[in-house]
Structure 1
C-alpha cells in the first residue's frame, strides 16, 4: 500500500523548511522578525515615513541641499515622494487596509483621526502588536510581509539615497517572464500562479532577450 507523505511545512515567504517550533506558523522566525523590524523603521518622528518630508525638494538627497541643473524654475515638490506621503498613497493606504482586514477578524482597531504621521504610527503599532497572531492565523501573511517589505524599500530608496535594485528578467517554466532583484523576497507568477520563494526565484533561468523585451 503506497503512502503519500505530507508535504514538508515551509515558510511561505522564504520557503525554507520550518523548524519544529515553527510548524504552526505561516512564516519562519527570521521572516517574521524582519517584517517586524521593517514596520518599526516606518513609524515614529525619526522613522522612514517622517524622513520622507526632507526629500520633497527637487534634487534633495543624502549628500546635500537641493540643486537644479536646469535654467528653468524647478518643480516645487518631488511628486514621487509626495505620493508616498499622501493618505491614499502606497504607505499609509496599504497599512490601513491591513488594519481594516485585521479589524474584521477582531484583532485590530482602525484610527483615522489625527495627522497622517499619527495614523501611520497607529497602524504600525496595531500591526506589530498583532504580528504573532497573524503569523499563526492569517493565511495571507506572506502577502502582508511582502507589502511591508515593498513599503520599506520605497522609503529607503528616497531617504537613504539608494539606487533602486536592478531587476533582471527570469523565465518561469510556463513561459512568463518575471523581473526580480537580489532583494526580492518572493514572487507569484502572473502566468501560472506558481509562488516562488527568494531562493527559488533566483534559481530560475535568465529569460531570453527577445522574450524579456
Structure 2
C-alpha cells in the first residue's frame, strides 16, 4: 500500500506535487467550480419563486385570477439566514479567523452571496493548504450547489437511502445530508462520515 498522505475530501493518495495539502488539486478545482456557479444559481431563484413559474409564460398585468402562491423553500433560500447565504458567510468568518478572508455583510442577499463566493474562491488555495476542515467545507459547498441546481433546473428531490449505524439503528439520508445524529446511541456523523456508513438490508430499511 502507498504511504502517501491522502486527500481529506476524496481519500485519493496525494501526488508528490500535492504534499503538504489537505485536498488534492482535483477537489480544489471542483470546489472552485461550485463557488463560481453558486452566485448565478442564486440569482436565478427569482425565476422560480412562484409555483409553476417558467412553465406558463409571463404573468399578465390586470389579471383577475388569484396570485400564484410563492414557494416557501425558495423564499427561505433567498433570506440571509437561509441554507445558502448563512453557511457561506459562516465559512468566510471561519476563514477570517485564520487570516484567509474578510466578512462583508452589506447589500442584498444576492450581493452577499456573490461577495462570499468571490472571497472563498480567492482564498481557496491557501485554505486547501492550511485549513484542516477543508473536507467539511467542500461537502457544504457541494450541498448548496446541488440544492440550488435542483430548484433552478426543476430536478426532483434526491432519493433517500437507508444506512446502518454501528448500533444497528437505521438512518435514512440523502446525498445532500449535511450530517446526522443517531437517535439510538447519539453518535454524530458529518456529511462524509454518514455517506460511508454501510447500507441497511431491505428488511431493516
Aligned partner of 1:52 among 26, 42, 45: 45
Once residues 137 and 177 of structure 1 are traced to their aligned partners in structure 2, the CA distance between those partners, rounded to angstroms, is 36
Map of 1:118 onto structure 2: 111
Map of 2:30 onto structure 1: 34
Once residues 185 and 83 of structure 1 are traced to their aligned partners in structure 2, the CA distance between those partners, rounded to angstroms, is 18
Once residues 196 and 16 of structure 1 are traced to their aligned partners in structure 2, the CA distance between those partners, rounded to angstroms, is 18
The alpha carbon displacement at 1:167 in A equals 2.4
The alpha carbon displacement at 1:60 in A equals 2.3
Give ranges in structure 1 of 5+ residues lacking alignment: none
Once residues 188 and 22 of structure 1 are traced to their aligned partners in structure 2, the CA distance between those partners, rounded to angstroms, is 31
The alpha carbon displacement at 1:197 in A equals 5.2
Helix, strand or coil for the counterpart of 2:14? coil
Structure 1-normalised TM-score? 0.78
Query: Is residue 2:13 matched to residue 1:17?
Result: yes
Structure 2-normalised TM-score? 0.81
Residue by residue over 1:170-192, the C-alpha shift from the partner in whole angstroms, topping out at 9 and shown as x without a partner, is 224442434455x5699778565
Aligned partner of 1:130 among 111, 123, 126: 123
Once residues 47 and 191 of structure 2 are traced to their aligned partners in structure 1, the CA distance between those partners, rounded to angstroms, is 36
Equivalent residues of 1:14, 1:197 under 8 A apart: no
Helix, strand or coil for the counterpart of 1:86? coil
Aligned partner of 1:101 among 94, 100, 114: 94
The alpha carbon displacement at 1:29 in A equals 1.3
Equivalent residues of 1:57, 1:77 under 8 A apart: yes
Equivalent residues of 2:179, 2:188 under 8 A apart: no
Residue by residue over 1:124-172, the C-alpha shift from the partner in whole angstroms, topping out at 9 and shown as x without a partner, is 1100000011111111111111110111011011101111222221224
Aligned partner of 2:154 among 149, 157, 161: 161
Aligned pairs, number: 196
Once residues 197 and 120 of structure 1 are traced to their aligned partners in structure 2, the CA distance between those partners, rounded to angstroms, is 25
Once residues 192 and 70 of structure 2 are traced to their aligned partners in structure 1, the CA distance between those partners, rounded to angstroms, is 38
Query: Is residue 2:138 matched to residue 1:145?
Result: yes
Give ranges in structure 2 of 5+ residues lacking alignment: 60-64
Aligned partner of 1:91 among 77, 80, 84: 84
The alpha carbon displacement at 1:65 in A equals 4.0
Residue by residue over 1:46-85, the C-alpha shift from the partner in whole angstroms, topping out at 9 and shown as x without a partner, is x100001100011225x44489xxxx95663111001000
Helix, strand or coil for the counterpart of 1:211? coil
Helix, strand or coil for the counterpart of 2:102? coil
